[in-house]
Structure 1
């Protein structure tokens, strides 16, 4: 029998790419997603849990977790609400998934994630990375992408402005400073899935590494 994957953040920029690509993977018989509202997506492999509150009772045995949860303070409305989405929920998913047998956890963090960062966003991502290490997954994959490219459901002015400025510089950045070059969400998803095929311990994927893996 094939494996079972769980995707959280399935409606976001990277999450949508993860779901689409995982459904095409022969090694997964089932792909489960947790969403706030039913998406009514139709695929024989795809299963949906609505709401995080009942996930412990609803989920089956899980092999691999792909976490792409993320928001901004502007969208969330406050720092506390932001931390709930970007820190509390991913850690709660890790707790539940571990009880359901998960041995691998792949998470989208951020470039510059660090507990010592002067930036609140990156400090929270640093907390997340440290928190996940405590669970002792056989394989913890941490992706640290740079500026993400792709079509979001919600408009983020800062990201869109940065994308417009950096896009003409993309070839130069890829050649000279690959970790600074913007990266397509589909490439991040592809790199996470590739990394999850095998490996153990803690694996950190920089933006430049993910660019090379997706070529």
Structure 2
């Protein structure tokens, strides 16, 4: 039977107890408050559920990760990085990025209004971050996730132009590499992420990496200027 977590205390079952589920379903219940979310990520757990479900917590085995120095930049992407005319920023337009990630998923979304509110709260507290890709003043791609030390837990990304989300991921990988390493958690296997250099590792190995990287100091992400963001671009206040 799937464990049900009360709202208090913040306590997860051991991740090994998810072994019976091929996708790593661990528990249901709890809350989407910062203390629950941060405790989850530190243990290699993340929330993923739809509108008609309770909060569901997952810890897949194997786990797909991308090490910054292993990102694969093919010739066409390298050309886009050099000549694509994109401008890349960090933490300038978090709310617009998460809203765009929710809107542009044709198969439906787990990024429901309560999830968006929870991650905006994490962003306000300095734990959730975004990378934005601009064409002029228009937001055309990006990604968001949670950072603990030098571990970045990717949640979702979007593109409104070809390769825009890949540009955001390359920027994130280079940001971590400039700090001396780390890892990007990609959660579950996809062929798209594998083509960019992500690979599967055992859950136990992933948690060992978290013990190493989440405790390391990291350069602070830039404080966002006073922007009033919308999908078409930012407006300075």
TM-score, scaled to structure 1: 0.27
Structure scoring higher RCO (CA < 8 A, sep ≥ 6) equals 2
Greater Rg over alpha carbons, structure: 2
TM-score, scaled to structure 2: 0.25
